A and B are shown apart, each in its own frame.
Chain A
């Protein structure tokens, strides 16, 4: 993890200014979409992560975000998509995920259904009719079928790639590196049309090492460690929205919880999963909703701390 040096870097950014969206934030709040929201309304971007975004955009490489669970890796992608005015696609990787899942799927059930309706002597079924696009196909959208006429650019989130077998990142090298891939029963490859920007954000919790060839083709950024200042600023943004300003009536609560989280992180052994930003926001919301003051010892605070910040790692 990076030291949390928040000094800005000096360069010409590819994206001029990232902004938060008050209306979208309020809409999410009204719909109770407070935790793990993926609407991209607000995000506090560390200068180094901001630089990584610009480097990825400049080099045309996927952005690989490494860091602890809950440190804000996945939520960067929708924020990026909204700020770029781009379409947004995401796929959460599991152990059973195959490379093809990102590219295309074959609808065997429909083909079987059609086959049963056929009579001997009918024209053979065309496999091209049974191929359905995966997220990279939709993002590349060479035929303009998936919204690229209105929004040409796209942001793709490939979440937790370390859960997949090593063949998956290796199999993504060409689609991500060359911006094209082939599909069965289709003559033309799926290619990113000229002038279209497809930004791929990949996250890893580093349960498995990624292939070196894959790492080489990514812009790799570590999510910075939280500080009391960064946690408080994040809480202000998430609780008060973009219009909440630089101060909040809850600053004392935010500060106490941030201090407690950092204290707990310092006590963790290597095998423990340290609480991060997501756990911090859970604790903030719980304390606010239940009107619990963490600076006063109480059974309620003890329970909230247990449920949000001190999650055991050996749960089976």
Chain B
């Protein structure tokens, strides 16, 4: 069952059970289930034709795991509610005669211009980029005890792995000229990360071309040990850079090494295709394309393979 079908089913069941007697109650029930009133007339235009790639289903989306989300599913406009609203309205309201035009509220969808990432997928992609794995300090007791129960000595000691955002994240926003067209996307991504991890756990640092601890205006400081770093940068690929290409690569390599030594991952979202990525940087940090072809699965793969893969 698609998400839209789930909403409609819930609305239908609620209406049939509660039998709202006036328009206010009917609207409140729909609102509680995630619907909102659409513009009275004309009905809202259909959303831009868009179909997420087949691997872009939502995590844990029961009943819809194998079904791609169609543009026709979201938002949903319900115009036939008069059929399920009670015909005999108490108090002489117009709930029985006027169809209530509703649509599914779509929270968190940023305004135009068209963002680099699909609004639906952006949150999940961001999550893949900033989540970190934590091994231990707790041992993986189930595996450990299983080994001991079989008279086997676990070697090495198995530690529990957890994917977590509890460490927080440092977001590097590149203010260089080459990123000017993507300023709105950078802001969107920062906002998404803030909502995901919580304001208190997100540190946003502005950089110019490359994080520079000696920069007199925007000195970069490494985050606390183990805190992942997400860079929203073009790594100077736009060409309009003050530093030379070799200097930029060396600068990013230094940052990647510094972070690796501190147990922090470094992943960069790049609004340029992989063919243009500097090989030296591919080898030392996770790079993820920042465009409509990016999916959660692709982001996860880039992270799980690690640098240089």
Would you call B165 and A219 a contact (CB within 8 A)?
no
Chain B: residues with Cβ within 8 Å of the partner, total of: 52
| Of the residues A54, A115, A124, A171, contact of B145 by C-beta under 8 Å | A115
Q: How far is the CA of A166 from the CA of B128 in the complex (A)?
A: 11
Would you call A55 and B32 a contact (CB within 8 A)?
yes
Would you call A95 and B17 a contact (CB within 8 A)?
no
Identity of the chain A residue whose Cβ is nearest the Cβ of B148 in the assembled complex? A115
Q: Of the 9-residue stretches A7-15, A149-157, A273-281, A301-309, which lies at the interface with chain B? A: A7-15
Confirm or deny: B292 has a beta carbon within 8 angstroms of a beta carbon on chain A: no
Q: How far is the CA of A61 from the CA of B11 in the complex (A)?
A: 11
Q: How far is the CA of A116 from the CA of B197 in the complex (A)?
A: 43
Chain A 204-231 interface 0/1 with B at a Cβ cutoff of 8 Å (1 = within): 0001110111011101110000000000
Would you call A10 and B127 a contact (CB within 8 A)?
no
The dominant DSSP class at the B interface is helix
Confirm or deny: B67 has a beta carbon within 8 angstroms of a beta carbon on chain A: no
Give min CB distance, B25 to chain A, whole Å: 4
Residues 134-180 of B contacting A (Cβ, < 8 Å): 141-142, 144-145, 148-151, 162-166
Instruction: Please name all residues of chain B whose beta carbon is closer than 8 Å to the beta carbon of A61 when the two chains form the complex.
Output: 10, 33
| Of the residues B3, B24, B165, contact of A165 by C-beta under 8 Å | B165
Do A171 and B60 form a contact, CB below 8 Å, given A10-B25, A208-B198?
A: yes
Q: How far is the CA of A167 from the CA of B141 in the complex (A)?
A: 21
Would you call A55 and B90 a contact (CB within 8 A)?
no
Identity of the chain A residue whose Cβ is nearest the Cβ of B191 in the assembled complex? A209
Give min CB distance, B301 to chain A, whole Å: 18
Identity of the chain A residue whose Cβ is nearest the Cβ of B9 in the assembled complex? A59
Instruction: Please name all residues of chain A whose beta carbon is closer than 8 Å to the beta carbon of B145 when the two chains form the complex.
Output: 108, 111-112, 115
Confirm or deny: A264 has a beta carbon within 8 angstroms of a beta carbon on chain B: no
Would you call B32 and A221 a contact (CB within 8 A)?
yes
Q: How far is the CA of A61 from the CA of B9 in the complex (A)?
A: 11
Instruction: Please name all residues of chain A whose beta carbon is closer than 8 Å to the beta carbon of B17 when the two chains form the complex.
Output: 12, 14, 58
| Of the residues A58, A170, A216, contact of B14 by C-beta under 8 Å | A58
Q: How far is the CA of A10 from the CA of B165 in the complex (A)?
A: 44
Would you call B61 and A55 a contact (CB within 8 A)?
no
Would you call A166 and B60 a contact (CB within 8 A)?
no
9 contacts between A and B (CB under 8 A): A11-B18, A11-B19, A11-B25, A13-B18, A106-B142, A171-B60, A208-B198, A209-B123, A212-B123
Q: List residues of A whose CB falls within 8 A of some B CB.
A: 9-14, 48, 51-52, 54-55, 58-61, 95-96, 98, 106, 108-109, 111-112, 114-115, 118, 120, 124-125, 162, 165-167, 170-171, 173-174, 177-178, 207-209, 211-213, 215-217, 219-221
A-B CB proximity, top 9 nearest? A108-B141, A209-B195, A58-B17, A10-B21, A115-B149, A173-B60, A9-B25, A11-B18, A170-B60
